[in-house]
Amino acid sequence: MKLTSRQRAYLISLASSLDPVFQVGKTGVTPMVTAAVEECFHNRELIKIAVLKNCAEDPEEIAGILAERTHATAVKVIGRKIILYRPNKEKPKIELPRADRKDKD
């Protein structure tokens, strides 16, 4: 899903009050990690993930891998925190700002 800068900023503002729901440790992105993140998306549309210091993988790479495997969008990577968004197709809870023509990335 392609997000505009306005939508991305909106999601980042919503995520600022969230605590990380999952941590990626020294084992990196395993099938168990992917399954746990997928499970989080059953209850939430926006999640924050912490990458621990003992993880050798780059947080940007982890965000890309998790987004691809869970069909989510990597909103932003801030330091060692990852924000992922996947709208609920049946009952969306987050209403994104409209994508205007002026606001294209």
Answer yes or no: is pLDDT of 100 > 80.
no
Bridging pattern class, strands 73-78 and 81-85: antiparallel
Per CATH, the architecture of 5-85 is what? 2-Layer Sandwich (3.30)
Give helix 59-70 / helix 31-43 axis angle, nearest 10°: 60
Q: What is the pLDDT of residues 1-19, one digit of tens each?
A: 789 999 999 999 999 999 9
- Domain range annotation of the chain: 5-85
Neighbours of 25 (CB within 10 A): 13
Q: Is the full-model pTM beyond 0.85?
A: yes
CA 101 – CA 89 distance, rounded (Å):
24
Give the DSSP per-residue string, 32-49: HHHHHHHHHHHH-SEEEE
